[in-house]
Structure 1
Amino acid sequence: MNFKLNALVAAALLAAAGSANAAIDPGLNGNGEIWFAVYDTVAQKSFSFDTGVYMNDFVGTGVNYNYNFGSDANWTTFTAGSNSANWLWMVGAESGNGLTTSRVFTTDNAATVAIPKGGPGAMSANGAIFTSAQIAGTNYTVNGSAVKVVGDSGYFGDPTMTGNWGTKFSPDASTTVGNSLNFFSITGASGLGNVNGVKFGAVATDVWTLSSAGVLNYGAAAPVPEADTYALMLAGLGLVGFMARRRLAA
């Protein structure tokens, strides 16, 4: 799936947005849909979005997924009277087939993650509670968005989620606007010890980002210029300014 195709898919999804419930498949059959959720920690309201991409179909290497919520009526409702400085957001998905076969996708701030072996099952169960609360019946064909306020069933800020999968995930799966998040696949395993998350992304550089304008993107992180690059840029600008002054003097 290339970038243009992803853009078309995103446009189709957003055209269907604005429904009261986001039809997020919680993966009870072992293959859930990837969702995005953000909540305002002060206004205590949340926005969730069903990407329409299933776990088994997600391609995490050299592929961009881009969603622009600018035309989403629910995003407009969420952002009204809201300060983006107070937002926490994450991306996830779950499939629940028991402690040994449960699987979750989760964002995280860290470069690596490791959790107790029973963790994926507990995370998947809590994730299914979060997503099932936003489903209109069992219809997973209409992918859209939802706005919830504190006290609503499916509110992202309730104890079920809030970025740590209901305390079942000790690392921090959420972050503020302007920061990026790594993406991991974690599968339950038998035996002793921890379960390690497998990092998605080409050469482990692909990340999720969210802008205050409501653009969610998964892809390669933008390179940060080295110090010597900045020095060359400044020197070049200084030289251009010097030449411009000489021409004016002439």
Structure 2
Amino acid sequence: MLSSGLVAGCLAFGGSANAAISFTFDYSNNTPGAGFLDATYGTDRQNALTAAGNAFSSLFGQYFTNTGNIVLAVSSSDDPNSSTLASAGSAGQWDGVSQGFTYQEVVREKLVTGVDLNDGAADGTVDVNWGQPWHLDLSSDAPYGLYDFYSTVFHEFTHAIGFSSSIGQNGEPAFGAGNLAWSEYDRFLGNKNGTMMINPDYTLNQAAWEAASVGGASPAEGMFFYGANAMAANGGQAVGLYSPTVWSDGSSVSHLDTDNPALEAMMMTHAGPDGPSPRVFSAVEVGILTDLGYTAVTPVPEPETYAMMLAGLGLVGWQVRRRRAA
């Protein structure tokens, strides 16, 4: 149940406590009286986002040693007819020349290398659709009929820290045709036969992309993640990614395969059900983040022993990924 409260119109930032990652939330672009600045619910919504930042920081810090303060520009919508629950992403930069896995995600770069490419500006974005019914209590599971705010926001934070492809539906990189700068995540994309999407000369294997990106459910078809740590956590097998036969913008390839029963209960699937939802990473998800360059506190454990519980850069772009209602 949301309690009533008033939010000061001048409120612009809310921060999380000191942790492996800390978050600064910038509400300055919100419409006064709406969303996170709603006169009745705004305080509760901001408090929930701050609590989510603190809890995600603790979760991340159990498994990785990387630190940094991440500034996220916060926005919201109020659309009960939209299936999108929330979205988030990192700003991205490219030097306009270098080819390879040189699409620099500002959030990931700050956490992995300590370099702030944005010079203090917002590192990324997060948006919440308040038109859907939310459960905002961190101390309890969401009841059926409500979506778990914390599972969803953890999912979005994970996109912002690098769990996201930069490749568009037509196979173009983020900065357009011919600009062969791909994200670190793209390095590990391949089809069921082990054919990688990015060729040794950093061009895209267009035929393989066109087939796998809309290939259908794994493990038989679709796109896969071939990072060594993720595969070790997945019994030596590549990890299936969401590859519906009709491309879903913001969802395809940048999520675990919701249609694979072995993966559907994990936090980084493309759709979240109402009711209780995971607020933890699986071993596979920790493996993927390790492959993306995060420094693990200890080697990624095998699944059967794994338990994680939560008590001059010239061109700029954005990669935003969405979570949808199941």
In our comparison, the structure showing a higher alpha carbon Rg is 1
Quick check: which one's helix share is greater? 1
Q: State TM-score, norm by structure 2.
A: 0.25
Greater relative CO, 1 or 2 (CA 8 Å, sep 6+): 1
